[in-house]
Every structure is written in C-alpha cells, then in structure tokens.
Copies of this chain bind each other. A is one copy, B any other.
Amino acid sequence: MSPTPPRRALNRQVLADHVHEELMASLIDGRLEAGANLSIDGIARDLEVSPTPVREALARLEHTGMVRRVALKGYKVAPLFTAVELAQLVDARLVIEPVNAELACASITPALVAELKQTIEDLRSSPTGASYAEFRDYWKADEDFHRIIAEHAGNPFILNAYKTLGGQVQRFRFFAGLGVTDADTAIQEHTAILDAFSAGDPAGARDAMIAHLNGVKQRSIRDSVEHP
C-alpha cells in the first residue's frame, strides 16, 4: 500500500512565496521596467493564481523600495535612481559594509576565507557581456562576496539592513545597463579585501572595503554620466 510516499509535502508551498520570488527576479533583471504599473489582477492572470497571494507578495516587496504603493491606486515599479540617489546608495553601503568587513575579519575562519576566495574565482570565470543572461553569474559572484561578509559580521540587525540595501544594489546595477565595465578593477579590490582577511587584519579589511566602495561609487557615477 501507500503507492506514493508522502511526496505531497514537497509540492505543498505557499503561492505568495512563489509570486514573491517571481516578482523579485523580474524586478532585478529588468523585465519589469521602472514606473510600470503592477496591476494586482494582471499579475494574478499572468501567473495563473488568484489576486490574494499577489497582494501578499507585493506587500512584502514594498519595504525593499523596489515597489511603491499608493493606497487605492495600486503598486508601481519604483522609478530609476537619479545620479544623486545612486551615490547615496553607495554612501549607505559605506556606512554599513566597512563595519561588516571589520567584524567578519575579527572572527575569521579558514572556511570563510575559502568561501570568499571562491566568489573571486567565480568573478574571474564569469562572462561579462552586456545582456542580463550573460553577466548574471558575474553579479551573483559579486553579490555573494558582499553578502557572505555581511552574514559573518555576527549582527543580525546589521545584516538585515544590508540585505535591504542589497536588493536595491542589484536593481540599480541592472539599470545602469552597461553590463560589467570594471571587472578587472573589481576583482583587484575584492582580492585586496580578501588579503586583509587572510592576514587577520580587521582594520585593513575595513579600509580595503572603503576603498572598494569608493571605487564602485566613482565608477558608477562615471558610467551614469557617460550613459544618461
């Protein structure tokens, strides 16, 4: 008897989670353009679910800043960043991430070093083309590097703050729309941070992170000026 073992537990998942992931992916990779209306009923039709889980997914998405809600009017994809906001986003990272680096480095483990080293390897081996499909691996490796450091800082509140920024970062990067323009420099800067980790030098890790983010900031501004 019991021809099929309890497979059902695997199938059983909450639709709102699925919708949330789907929307998040669409926002990050640009399938949903800035300013686009996010019709609840429309999304429900597209994904073949009812509006209820869509409402829940959108409510969760609101705090990320990627989606804006106006009561009784609906949701829209947040507008593109201006050059000022873009710089502010990096400034916010400059507040949080150097501390992350310092803390994570202070409790360094060989496993962490190995993880970070792997992300830099991935960065090197990933293509850097101009379309999302091409540089998605590059981005993932870059995001992994920063996220792993944040996760090892040991402060869940700071981690939460970083994660909120993280989504923004990814979205911004897509809309910069240039593909990867600074792979060599970024790899170099990540390596400098990793070296400080390997040496067990928290202050050095902090400074290397500051230098990296300042580099990101300047290159971002430069790119956004050259390609308005």
Interface set of A (CB-CB < 8 Å, partner B): 12-14, 16-17, 52, 55-57, 59-60, 62-63, 65, 71-72, 85, 88-89, 91-92, 95-96, 99, 154-158, 160-161, 164-165, 168
In the assembled complex, which residues on chain B have CB atoms less than 8 Å from the CB atom of A17? Answer: 71
Give the residues in chain B near A158, CB-CB below 8 Å.
91-92, 95
Tell me whether A161 and B155 are in contact (CB under 8 A). no
Q: Whole-angstrom distance from the CB of A166 to the nearest CB of chain B?
A: 11
Interface contact B12-A72, CB-CB below 8 Å: yes
Contacting A164 at CB < 8 Å: which of B55, B154, B155, B164? B164
Output the nearest chain B residue to A96 by Cβ-Cβ distance: B95
Residues of B within 8 A of A71 (CB): 13-14, 17
Nearest residue (CB) in B for A56 is: B59
Whether A156 pairs with B60 at a CB distance below 8 angstroms is no
Most central of A16, A57, A158 by chain B CB within 10 Å: A158
- The answer to whether B160 and A91 touch across the interface, beta carbons within 8 angstroms, is no
With the chains together, A156 CA to B56 CA distance in Å? Answer: 25
- Pull 22 A–B residue pairs with CB atoms less than 8 Å apart, ordered by A: A12-B72, A13-B71, A14-B71, A14-B72, A52-B52, A52-B55, A55-B55, A56-B56, A56-B59, A63-B160, A65-B160, A85-B156, A88-B154, A88-B155, A88-B156, A92-B161, A95-B95, A95-B96, A95-B158, A96-B96, A157-B168, A161-B165
| Contact present for A99 and B95 (CB under 8 Å) | yes
Cβ of A63 and Cβ of B60 under 8 Å apart?
yes
A100 to B62, CA, bound (A): 24
Cα A63 to Cα B161 in complex, Å, equals 10
A164 to B158, CA, bound (A): 10
Cα A161 to Cα B91 in complex, Å, equals 13
Q: How far is it, in angstroms, between the C-alpha of A95 and the C-alpha of B150 when the chains are bound?
A: 13
Report the Cα distance A71→B71, complex, angstroms: 27
Contact B164 A160 (CB under 8 A): yes
